[in-house]
């Protein structure tokens, strides 16, 4: 489990409302899928614990993470 200070609270537009979501972001290599191209692993957590965690993988490391969460 990641220490609490490594999670970032961000606003995300979900179901027509703006809600806070916690993000944990890690850069990793997934050799079987992308070779030596790094991927960004994003874990999205509902701070109220009403929804399960979501996990995203992207090669768009510099992309806007709030847009990823809203998808």
Predicted structure pTM score: 0.72
Rounded to whole angstroms, the Cα distance separating 44 from 8 reads: 10
* pLDDT tens, position by position, 5-58: 889 998 888 889 998 999 998 889 999 999 999 988 889 999 998 989 999 888
What pLDDT score was predicted for residue 61? 64
Q: Is the pLDDT of residue 70 over 60?
A: no
Spell out the domain ranges in the chain: 7-52
Bridge partners (DSSP) of residue 21 are 10
- Please state, in angstroms and as integers, the Cα–Cα distance from residue 68 to each residue in 1, 3, 32, 35, 50, following that order: 22, 23, 23, 23, 20
């Amino acid at each position: 489990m990641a220490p609490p200070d490594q999670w970032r609270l961000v606003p995300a537009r979900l179901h027509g409302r703006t809600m806070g979501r916690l993000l944990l972001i890690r850069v990793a290599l997934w050799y079987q899928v992308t070779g030596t191209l790094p991927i960004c692993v994003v874990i999205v957590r509902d701070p109220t614990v009403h929804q399960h965690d979501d996990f995203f993988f992207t090669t768009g490391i510099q992309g806007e993470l709030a847009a990823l969460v809203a998808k």
